[in-house]
Amino acid sequence: MSRIESKIANELNLEIGDIVIVIKKDGSIKNVVMPEMNLEMQNSVSYQKLLKVLDVLKPGASKEFKNHNKRKMH
């Protein structure tokens, strides 16, 4: 069995535009932490990758997430 090393950070080195997905022990999505939704964020590479990851974790979640954020923008 291979060994996995983990490193516990005392702080998160986040930069403006970073997105964090919090996953619960049971594998479900607890939170998505991201900057305020605007057109620049909506068109960013990080947002597009977030949508792909959400669909891997929960199929169909990206559509629901996009609809939720569209309502916040208008």
Residues 6+ apart with CB under 8 A from 34: 18, 19, 20, 41, 47, 50
What's the pLDDT tens digit per position in 6-37? Answer: 566 667 777 888 888 999 999 888 998 888 88
pLDDT of residue 49: 94
Nearest to 33 by CA among 55, 14, 8, 52: 14
Mean pLDDT of 1-10: 62
What's the pLDDT tens digit per position in 43-74? Answer: 999 999 999 999 999 999 999 988 888 877 65
pLDDT of residue 11: 75
Domain boundaries of the chain, sorted by first residue? 20-72
Q: Which position has the higher pLDDT, 53 or 2?
A: 53
Query: Which helix (H) or strand (E) segment is 69 a member of?
Result: helix 61-73
Residue 43, CA atoms < 13 Å, CB-side half-sphere: 3
Query: Which helix (H) or strand (E) segment is 33 a member of?
Result: strand 29-33
